[in-house]
Amino acid sequence: MRPVLSRINRAVERLANWPSVSGAKPLRGGLKGHYRLRVGDWRIVFTITGDVAVVTRIANRRDVYED
């Protein structure tokens, strides 16, 4: 779990360089307005407010899009 956690932390830190973050994709449907960033089997879901990235959820890919 430790290596995954450090990869997730580095990915979250990369969000400070928005919009130059590679791999971020916009979400559709009920999560329209959100973006996701993949880190292995984990997903970081975030929104952009002005020039600030706000992480709303970090979870395994099988659970991240459920309410």
The number of distinct structural domains making up the chain is 1
Stated pTM of the model: 0.92
The alpha-helical segments, DSSP class H, found in 1-67 are: 2-14
Average pLDDT estimate for 33-60 = 96
In a domain? residue 66: no
Q: Where in the sequence is the domain holding 21, given as residue range(s)? A: 2-60
Instruction: For 6, list phi and psi in degrees, rounded to 5.
Output: -70, -35
CATH code of the domain containing 39: 3.30.2310.20
In a domain? residue 65: no
Give the per-residue pLDDT at 2. Answer: 83
In a domain? residue 67: no
pLDDT tens digit sequence for 4-28: 999 999 999 999 999 999 999 999 9
pLDDT tens digit sequence for 30-39: 999 999 999 9
Q: Determine the residue type at 51.
A: D
